[in-house]
Amino acid sequence: MASVALFILSVLAHLVVLHSAEYSKEEPSKHCPGHFCSDMVGNISFPFKSPGDPPECGLFTVDCSEPDRPKVQLKEGGYWHEFQGYLFSPSISIKDRDLAARLEKDSCNDGVFDDLSLPSASPIPEVSLSTPNLTLFKCNTTLDKNSYTQLNDSCENAYHTYYIASADSSLPSPPSPGCATIQVPILPSPPQPITLSSLTAEFSLYVEARKCYQCRERKGECLVEHGNYKCAAREKGDKQVKLKLGLGKIDISAFKYLIGMHTHLGQVLEPKDGNLSFPNPSGLIF
């Protein structure tokens, strides 16, 4: 009897191990599981992603290697801005002490403007990115202000001249082939007329991904594939659940079978009148 019981326990243990291995091998079903940063910042998930995530997991990379000084990269390969606040509140506060010090020291430096510049638009229309900003013309030649009356304040370094447009005029197309446009953050209520002194490295950044919120409510996953937004249904995960439920049924059936076998084997091994009896196997319970 002891050997039969041991056999049953061994088979059941084997089934449980197989079931557990199948479960762990299939999980997780999400392509981008997200990462916890800190209590102040929360989880990093679409439209944000962690440095080690695949590119399709988000648009803006968040580095939490120093939880007390989290940083966000608004342009791929661009500057890392220090920020404060919960990622999924209406806005996060960019408060970059290093960049603020550089801006105060040299307000017409190419490197400062490059690091301060914002994405001209969100990479995909389903995600909006906004903050009070100013468009500057970055020119490698000096323009004649008599010919371009809409240009207001300017600054110049050894390589470029930067111009801003008057607040009451629409921005023209780049006025010269030697000019490009960049967007830089400014104070929420700058004094008029706006000048380059209104630039700031401390600003509120509003990030909205309404379609992704709706996607999550449907248990989907937000991705960016080939430059396009996608709400990926987690069908694979659903199939995994069904598969695991099926394995559970198999385990229960096997358990019932083995219990029935154990009962009848007990009857088989009970000697009657010195002889072993062999009941009809059709009596096994399933």
pLDDT digits (tens, 9 = 90+) for 61-118: 999 999 889 999 999 899 999 999 898 888 899 999 999 999 999 989 999 999 999 9
Q: Tokens 């009962």 identify what position? A: 263
Give the pairing of strands 48-49 and 60-63: parallel
pLDDT tens per residue, range 55-77: 999 999 999 999 889 999 999 89
pLDDT tens per residue, range 139-195: 998 887 777 767 778 899 999 999 886 554 444 555 577 888 899 999 998 888 888
Pair 110, 182: CB distance under 8 Å: no
- Residue 21 in this model has a pLDDT that exceeds 80: no
Pair 72, 91: CB distance under 8 Å: no
Pair 122, 206: CB distance under 8 Å: no
Higher pLDDT, 139 or 22: 139
pLDDT tens per residue, range 238-259: 444 333 434 444 444 444 544 4
Determine the Cα angle at 169 with ends 165 and 175, to 5°.
Answer: 50
Three-state SS at 245: helix
Band of pLDDT at residue 9, cut at 50, 70 and 90: very low
Please state, in angstroms and rounded to a whole number, the distance separating the CA atoms of residues 31 and 228: 16
Looking at residue 89, its pLDDT comes to 84
Looking at residue 120, its pLDDT comes to 76
- Residue 277 in this model has a pLDDT that exceeds 80: no
Please state, in angstroms and rounded to a whole number, the distance separating the CA atoms of residues 263 and 281: 11
Name the nearest CA neighbour of 136 among 79, 180, 76.
Answer: 180
- Residue 138 in this model has a pLDDT that exceeds 50: yes
- Residue 278 in this model has a pLDDT that exceeds 60: no
| Conformational region of residue 226, where left means phi above 0, alpha means psi within -120 to 50, and beta covers everything else | left
Looking at residue 166, its pLDDT comes to 56
Pair 58, 47: CB distance under 8 Å: yes
Looking at residue 90, its pLDDT comes to 83
Band of pLDDT at residue 234, cut at 50, 70 and 90: low
- Residue 270 in this model has a pLDDT that exceeds 90: no
Token pair for 219: 């248990």
CA distances from 166 to 138, 174, 193 (A): 16, 15, 7
Give the pairing of strands 202-208 and 91-95: antiparallel
- Residue 202 in this model has a pLDDT that exceeds 90: yes
pLDDT tens per residue, range 209-228: 989 999 999 999 999 998 89
